[in-house]
Structure 1
Amino acid sequence: MVGNCPPNPQRTSASGYKTIDGRGAKVEIAYGPCITIQQVTNVIVHGISIHDCKPAKYGMVRSSTTHVGHRKGSDGDAIAISGSSHIWIDHCYLASCTDGLIDVIHASTGITISNNYFTQHVKVMLLGHNDNFVQDVNMKVTVAFNHFGPGLVERMPRVRRGYAHVANNRYDKWIMYAIGGSADPTIFSEGNYFIASDKSNSKEVTKREVKGGWNNWRWRTSKDVFKNGAYFVPSGYGSVDLPYSSAQRFTVAPGNMVPSLTADAGPLNCNRNLPCY
């Protein structure tokens, strides 16, 4: 099933507490504006393929049973999360869109991006609206068990503010850099598996999008595995311990286990009424 949305759909806005579940079917969203999750909470997107998303003009969107208003057009992201909380993007395939594959902006928090397969894209994942949007300092995002596959250039993720826990992901030969940031974010890279490309100028995992002044930014690496000359430049002082309760935490495996942990990244092979594998 392929979704090709018209340029100006009059869609009913979700009120939260929703699941988009592609298990047991082949679901693709492509060739138009794709998914926007805006000002809602408790949404799950699972088991779908999103690719070749295009920008769209603004349209009239129903945000409640009594209100229809203008909504800014899509930038061509696969999934845009804005002003939302407790969002889970899991076991999806994302590739080849006009803008980002996943953007998390406007003080969204409690976001989990897990078990996805990313490929063939330039600006993969952006966390933060812009460097001057200070409300994003409260952002908390977990990026875990994803496979960042071939043909990816940068932003896996790029973090502007807030806290990012990047754990047990596989990175295959990025073209520019893997993990970046620009406005004093806290980044904890834990138990990842980094394979650098053969190009001598693409070995560094990290990139600060400023010329200087980042020495106090808290960027740490723990239990990561670095292959083919890959290396991580840490910085800052003080703890980068996870800002979650003990009930919200998960055990991060050492990086050498990541190839097996990410082997089923992307949509699972599922049949109705049977376990997925």
Structure 2
Amino acid sequence: MPLVRHVLHVTVAAGLLAALSVPASADGREGGRGVERETLPARDGWAAADGGTTGGAAADDAHVFTVHDRAELVRALDGGSDTPKIIRVVGTIDANTDDRGRRLDCEDYAVDGYDLRRYLAAYDPRTWGGAKPAGPQEEARQASARRQAERVELSVGSHTTLVGIGSGAVLKGASLKVENADNVIIRNLEFRDAYDCFPVWQPNTGGLGDWKSAYDNLWLRGATHVWIDHITASDAGRPDAEEPTYFGRNYLRHDGLLDITNGSDLITVEWSRFADHDKAMLIGNSDTATGDRGKLRVTLHHNEFSSVVQRAPRVRFGQVHVYNNRYVVPPDAHDHRYFLGISTESRVRAENNAFTTPGHIEAADVVKSWNGSALHATGTLFNGFPVDLVALNNSYNSGSEHDLTPDVGWTPTLHGPIDTAERADRAVARGAGAGRLTAHADRITTPSTD
């Protein structure tokens, strides 16, 4: 039988825009119905619990928008209001633009005499020491960073559907924040290069100090009932590995691709692609955030993690179901660390996932534990061979961490059929990511393997 995400109708992808489009008014509002009003199917992961996720499906015609640039997107988002709304993204929207659409560079945000060379001279550890940066250049950096944040941080409110139209819908340079919002759908969008012009030096991070950047491509903070489907998130040709080294550390310009933190709950992430990045996905941001207990319930299925160094995902506290995902390390990668991060009080069930790596990466490198205690992992394929991730972790445990137990204390009930890792690997390679959706006027599907 073909692997199909739902029993849905299919048409040719090239006809997507024509099939979905209806005439828009001069202010960008439009009427009509289409896939933008589609809601999360029943039982499709944690976001289907407790009433499910409908996004902006209840929006009236006055709150259905088609947006082509940052100014239109900002107006449609309405400051993150809770008014039900549907926002259809067409083409590439660059967040680093002014209100007239003029491209902004880092120099345009710099104020109060901020200059990277002066910043480096002021806080060189050989002369500044290990104290937190303070003084004129740090104050100027903060003021400059605030100016960029005003442009690139975009808030999504409750009861919102944000959907890309066609195969080329892109949010470039944006940091999309779903903060203290409920009932949000984000689909068929590429998130590209959330680039921080003003990273901060943190002298004591990791023992040697490190650079910290501000922006995730997509950040769920205190968000509930969120469905993320067919997105692509990456650094898109501007990887941190190509940035210079200062104070002996890589000058990081990007943070996470998708972070789920601060009590976020009931999240489904599916058929998406996370690529070409260091820290891909963080679920739970602190070992001391005990308020996250009972929350951070997340389902990840049919996603691809390709050329990411770590955090695919790293989990604290949450009950996370990770099934039928595809993990790929390219042959020339030499900085891979791990995929599944098992941290404080996390309860991860990893079922039928496929990992493909070059020969210098061992199966024991798939899992890393920091104060973790449990991982249920079955049906795993590593370079085509079945492996027991828990047994491998425990065998290679250096003694710095406790062995993991396979008893995570819960069993997922909200999910579709779980396919073999081999079959899912093929399906995800063909169907995951933005611009891959094919559509009928009332439903969306993902191509099958057959």
Task: State the TM bucket, normalised to the shorter chain.
Answer: 0.7 to 0.9
Q: Is the 8 A contact 1:56 1:76 kept in 2?
A: no
For 2:258 and 2:276, locate their aligned partners in 1 and report how far apart those are by CA, in whole Å: 14
The match for 2:94 is 4
In structure 2, the CA distance between the partners of 1:24 and 1:237, relative to structure 1 (3 Å rule), is: closer
Paired residue for 1:249? Answer: 415
Q: 1:265 aligns with which of 424, 429, 432?
A: 432
1:146 alignment partner, one of 303, 309, 313: 303
Q: In 1, distance between residues paired with 2:290 and 2:197?
A: 28
Letter in 2 for 1:21: V
User: Deviations along 1:156-190, whole A, 9 cap, x unmatched?
Assistant: 00001121111000011272111012212111110
Distance in 2 between residues matched to 1:101 and 1:124, nearest whole Å: 5
Q: Aligned pairs, how many?
A: 251
8 Å CA contact retained: 2:271, 2:301: yes
Query: 1-side partners of 2:302 and 2:287: how far apart?
Result: 27
Cα 1:114–1:11, aligned 2, differ >3 Å: closer, same or farther? closer
**Residue in structure 2 matched with residue 50 of structure 1 by the alignment:** 191
CA RMSD, Structure 1 to Structure 2 (Å) = 2.7
CA–CA separation in structure 2 for the residues paired with 1:202 and 1:141: 25
Structure 1: tracts of 5 or more residues without a match: 58-73
Aligned mates of 2:440, 2:384 — CA distance in 1: 42
Greater strand percent: which structure?
1
Instruction: Name the structure with the higher helix share.
Output: 2
User: Is this contact kept in 1: 2:175–2:218, CA < 8 A?
Assistant: yes
CA–CA distance in 1 between the matches of 2:437 and 2:343?
Answer: 38
The answer to whether the 8 A contact 1:148-1:171 is kept is yes
Measure the CA separation in 2 of the matches of 1:13 and 1:194: 35
Is the 8 Å Cα contact of residues 172 and 194 (structure 1) preserved in structure 2? yes
1:197 aligns with 2:358: yes
Task: Give me the whole-angstrom Cα distance separating, in 1, the residues matched to 2:347 and 2:374.
Answer: 5
Shifted more, 223-232 versus 119-128: the winner is 223-232
Shift of 1:242: 2.9
**Structure 2 CA distance for aligned equivalents of residues 45 and 232 of structure 1:** 32
Query: Is contact 1:23-1:270 (8 Å) kept?
Result: no
Q: Following the alignment from structure 2 to structure 1, what is the Cα–Cα distance between the partners of residues 361 and 260?
A: 31
TM-score with structure 1 setting the length: 0.81
Matched, 1:221 2:377: yes
Query: CA–CA distance in 1 between the matches of 2:406 and 2:234?
Result: 36
The match for 1:63 is none
Superposition deviation, residue 11 in structure 1: 8.3
Q: Which residue identity does 1:78 align to in structure 2?
A: N
User: Are 1:176 and 1:202, in contact at CA under 8 Å, matched by a contact in 2?
Assistant: no
Q: 1:218 to 1:28 in 2, by over 3 A?
A: same
Measure how far apart 1:14 and its partner are. 4.0
1:36 corresponds in structure 2 to: 177
Q: Is the 8 A contact 2:380 2:388 kept in 1?
A: no
Q: CA deviation at 1:78?
A: 0.7
Letter in 2 for 1:171: Y
TM-score, scaled to structure 2: 0.51
- Residue in structure 2 matching 1:156, options 290, 312, 316: 312
Distance in 2 of aligned mates of 1:121 and 1:112: 21
Deviations 1:98-154 (A, max 9, x none): 1000000001010111101111100000000211101222210111100112x2111
Contact kept in structure 2, 1:196 and 1:228, CA below 8 Å: no
Check 1:197–1:15 CA distance in 2 against 1; reply closer, same or farther (3 A cut): same
Q: Secondary structure at the match of 2:299?
A: strand
1:201: how far off?
5.4
Rounded to whole Å, the distance in 2 between the matches of 1:89 and 1:158 is: 18
Deviation at 1:76, TM superposition (A): 1.5
> Unaligned stretches of 5+ in structure 2?
1-90, 97-147, 199-212, 236-252, 331-335, 392-403
Partner secondary structure for residue 389 of structure 2: coil
CA distance, structure 2, for counterparts of residue 160 and residue 179 of structure 1: 11
Rate the CA distance shift 1:190–1:5 in 2: closer, same or farther, 3 A: same
* 221-230 vs 180-189, which moves further: 221-230
The corresponding residue for 1:182 is 343
Residue 221 of structure 2 is aligned to residue 82 of structure 1: yes
Matched residues in 1 for 2:197 and 2:179: separation? 16
Q: Greater CA radius of gyration, 1 or 2?
A: 2
Task: Write out per-residue CA displacement over residues 24-80 of structure 1, whole angstroms, 9 at most, x where no aligned residue.
Answer: 35211113x3211111111111001111102489xxxxxxxxxxxxxxxx9221100
Q: How far, CA to CA, are the matches of 1:56 and 1:196 in structure 2? A: 33
Instruction: Give me the whole-angstrom Cα distance separating, in 1, the residues matched to 2:179 and 2:361.
Output: 41
The alpha-carbon deviation at position 9 of structure 1 amounts to 4.0
Structure 1 residues 48 and 142: CA distance shift in structure 2, 3 A:
same
Q: Is 1:125 paired with 2:291?
A: no
Change over 3 Å in CA distance of 1:162–1:12 after alignment to 2: closer
Q: 1:114 aligns to what?
A: 270
1:22 aligns to what?
164
Which residue identity does 1:157 align to in structure 2? P
Match of 2:405 among 236, 243, 249: 236
Deviation of the 1:249 alpha carbon: 3.0
